Structure 1
Amino acid sequence: MIHFSKILKLARKLADMVLRGKRIERTDIEGDFFSDEDKDYVIAHLSDPAKIEAQNKLAKEIHKTRNKDWQKVEAAIRPPVKKVRYLHVWTRVAAVFIGFIAIGYFFFRDHLPGGPAPGDGVKEQHITLRLPDGSIKILEEAENGDIRDRNGKIVGIRRGSSINYRKEGHAGNTTAPEYHEIQIPFGKTFELVLSDGTTVTLNAGSSLKYPVHFTGKRDRQVFLEGEAYFDVEKNPKQPFVVETDGINVQVLGTRFVINSYKEESRIRTVLLEGSVALFEKGEAYDPEKAARLIPGQKATWNKTQKDISFEEVDTGLYTGWMEGRLIFNHVPFNEILRRLERYYDITIVNKNKALDKEVFTASFEGESIENILNSFGRNYPFEYTVQGDNIVINP
């Protein structure tokens, strides 16, 4: 029998991932009581914006009757006794529970100190900023204002889809750094100007952890998951280091792009200007051993094999996303779909597995997702169905 506590634990985890704009994979849905079909159902269900209103209504109701919370939740998800196909019904109901309860209740109750109260109605995935005390600030796109530290001191200026932390005459603070972590959901991009003047543009589905101020006694280090363009302010005395899930990239002053999404098997670094050195995460930087890139080169790190390869590239192919362009140059279809999901904030389930390894070259700007899929379909015919923000490519 499936334990109620396991479903609650899973609900907390998935709710946190959804509202932080993180992509949910099958491997994130733990437990042998979920089949692959049921996992796909859960993922599609959590991505359905039509469920948001119901989530908010239920969250508000639960908030009003907190003393009976657990009884309500348990009653809502317990399957009827003597029901045919017991396990199948249970997992379907569990999926509804995760979508309706977890986002509306667990996230607001436990994860947003100082944030919106349950029932206030977060109706889309927002850019969020985790502060040093662990609280989460939701960043409205049309909002301007100040970013303050725990003492009320202004540390950054918010202007729409950017935050500027830069201080004139920055010389490196000597106190211990405090970190902010920004999460960018699918369908959005964001720009940061760090305290040293370095500019970072974050692509959809990415996150960056960075100091509010850099200290003068250590490297300028930030932590990236996803894709970002860096224009690093030069400082020979204090190298800039980007840590990813596999490699570190160290620079003095340069412009480059890193693609390091969790679900991808490779980390790609493309250098536009200057020089960068790459070395494996967890190792100390050794200038004699670190791999170096020159402008116009791409380095690809294989996470599994732990090796690196280099090639000359057209750097414009890797920066087009900052101008709203989708560019695919000999890219497998399964990777194209992941990029389309991030760009359009949608869920695509491909049941036509013969398509996965087909390679395409194409460029789009301002096109609807239907037009893009139709364009690929003219070269390799396939059919698909659209239900809201969920697309299924048929076998």
Structure 2
Amino acid sequence: MVGLERIFKLSKKLALSIINGDKEALMDLKSELNKNDQDYIIKNLTDKKIGERRRELRKELDRAKALQYRKMTGTRRRRIRFGAIQKVAAVFIGVLGLSYFFYVKSVAIPNEKESLKSDVISLRLEDGSIMEIDPDESTGVIDPYGNIIVKQRPGALKYDQNKDLNELSYNELYVPYGKRYSVILSDGTLVNLNSGSTLKYPVNFIQGTPREVFLKGEAFFSVAKDSLNPFSVFTGELGVKVLGTKFNISSYPEDLDISTVLSEGSVQLYEVKDPMKGSLLTPGHMASWNREGKSISISEVDVSLYTGWIEGELVFKSMSFERIVEKLERSYNVEIINNDEKLNKEIFTASFHVDLESIEQLLDYIKLERPFTYTINNNKIIINP
């Protein structure tokens, strides 16, 4: 019989190591496990009844995370709340965490800051563990229980509908600067994610409940029609509700406005705090919600200017160089330091393809319109007059 007291002490060490982000301590734990310990952990991982009890414990954590996402109004608040949830999760599933760490090769130690700064596409599972996604692979993503939770094909993840599941659980897909990626949700909705974007969504939509996802960054949605279960996208303070349509949302934290451009169908935009006050958007129009003024303005636009990024196109129409720099940093995964202040206010109209043209080619083209000099060192570009 394995020494339970010792196992739980090891579990406590694991929980504290996760909380503190101490990877060296985690590696040291491996040497403390004997054969009986390993057999006990594997049994806890594979026994169905024990698994059911663990899942009951996680349900409350899932509900807490979903509720917090609805209330989320800023990055700072999100970080604090996730930290608290992660600590609770680590304490309650410490024994299971041991088996995660030592027996599931593809699962990394949960660390939100590390994942968001990474230059690889990352998938955060419902338990907080993080997996790296190779965009060129065709395989299945396996959770810590050995279950295939999502299929993978080149350029996209694909979730299947499971009518036997009746509890919401969430995955979170992060696409870093310099990359684009897609996900097909369990209802068939296609979401194209732009560089530097994060989407949180249910692994499985449940019939009779609203379909809700949470976005930070930019994405183009092709929503599967389902009149009985409305689809909503939340971007912090703004919500977008649809039944079946195609639209683009840009909600980068550094941008002053959250913009929604409609390609097909119709959507309703509203403040999360006051859902009764909404604006209806029709195809060929853009709604811009100002973060400071808390107001929505609607204008007619050329939709292609706002959706070309899906195919790798960068389109600048009467755009200041200051705004162009923001887009270049995200699309090419570079840092640009501009010491030419007058250049920031210059207006340019141009189009490029990030998959076919380098950042040097793009800058050289802009130099023909307005001369300046630049140097490149690794991923840092310095512009001078």
Give the TM-score normalised by the residue count of structure 2.
Answer: 0.68
* Greater per-residue helix proportion: 2
Q: CA deviation at 1:148?
A: 3.7
Counterpart pick for 2:217 among 209, 226, 230: 226
Say if 2:333 is the partner of 1:342.
no
2:44 alignment counterpart: none
Say if 2:257 is the partner of 1:266.
yes
Q: CA deviation at 1:241?
A: 0.4
Q: Which structure is richer in relative contact order (CA contacts within 8 A, separation 6 or more)? A: 1
Equivalent-residue separation in structure 2 for 1:183 and 1:173 (angstroms):
28
Equivalent residues of 1:268, 1:298 under 8 A apart: yes
Equivalent-residue separation in structure 2 for 1:166 and 1:174 (angstroms):
11
Counterpart pick for 1:380 among 370, 375, 378: 370
Q: Deviations over 1:219-242 (max 9, x none)?
A: 100000011000000111111000
Counterpart pick for 1:314 among 293, 302, 319: 302
Equivalent-residue separation in structure 2 for 1:309 and 1:354 (angstroms):
29
SS at 2:274 equivalent? coil
Q: Deviations over 1:337-395 (max 9, x none)?
A: 11111111111111212222222111112222112112222222211111121101115
RMSD over aligned CA atoms reads 2.9
Q: Deviations over 1:118-139 (max 9, x none)?
A: 9xxx9x7110000011100011
Equivalent residues of 1:173, 1:213 under 8 A apart: no
Poorly superposed stretches of 4+, deviation over 6 Å? 62-67
Equivalent-residue separation in structure 2 for 1:214 and 1:187 (angstroms):
30
Q: CA deviation at 1:217?
A: 3.5
- Cα gap change, 1:233/1:117 in structure 2, threshold over 3 Å: closer, same or farther? closer
Q: Which amino acid aligns with 2:149?
A: V
Extract unaligned runs of 5+ from structure 2: 1-17, 30-96, 110-114
Equivalent-residue separation in structure 2 for 1:320 and 1:271 (angstroms):
14
2:240 alignment counterpart: 249
Say if 2:290 is the partner of 1:302.
yes
Give the TM-score normalised by the residue count of structure 1.
Answer: 0.67
Q: Which amino acid aligns with 2:322?
A: N
Say if 2:125 is the partner of 1:131.
yes
Equivalent-residue separation in structure 2 for 1:317 and 1:220 (angstroms):
28
Q: Deviations over 1:140-176 (max 9, x none)?
A: 2232221344543333211122111033xx7x66622
Q: CA deviation at 1:66?
A: 7.4
Equivalent-residue separation in structure 2 for 1:131 and 1:65 (angstroms):
22
Equivalent residues of 2:123, 2:172 under 8 A apart: yes
- Cα gap change, 1:311/1:392 in structure 2, threshold over 3 Å: closer, same or farther? same
Q: Which amino acid aligns with 2:383?
A: I
1:158 alignment counterpart: 152
Equivalent-residue separation in structure 1 for 2:255 and 2:205 (angstroms):
30
- Cα gap change, 1:142/1:352 in structure 2, threshold over 3 Å: closer, same or farther? same
- Cα gap change, 1:149/1:364 in structure 2, threshold over 3 Å: closer, same or farther? same
Equivalent residues of 1:173, 1:216 under 8 A apart: no
Equivalent residues of 1:174, 1:216 under 8 A apart: no
Q: Which amino acid aligns with 1:292?
A: L
1:356 alignment counterpart: 344
Extract unaligned runs of 5+ from structure 1: 1-11, 17-58, 68-109
- Cα gap change, 1:380/1:159 in structure 2, threshold over 3 Å: closer, same or farther? same
Q: CA deviation at 1:276?
A: 0.2
Pairwise mapping of residues 19-58 of structure 1 onto structure 2 (< 5 A)? none
Equivalenced residue count is 286
Say if 2:166 is the partner of 1:175.
yes
2:314 alignment counterpart: 326
Q: CA deviation at 1:312?
A: 0.8
Counterpart pick for 1:368 among 351, 358, 367: 358
Identity of aligned residues (%): 43
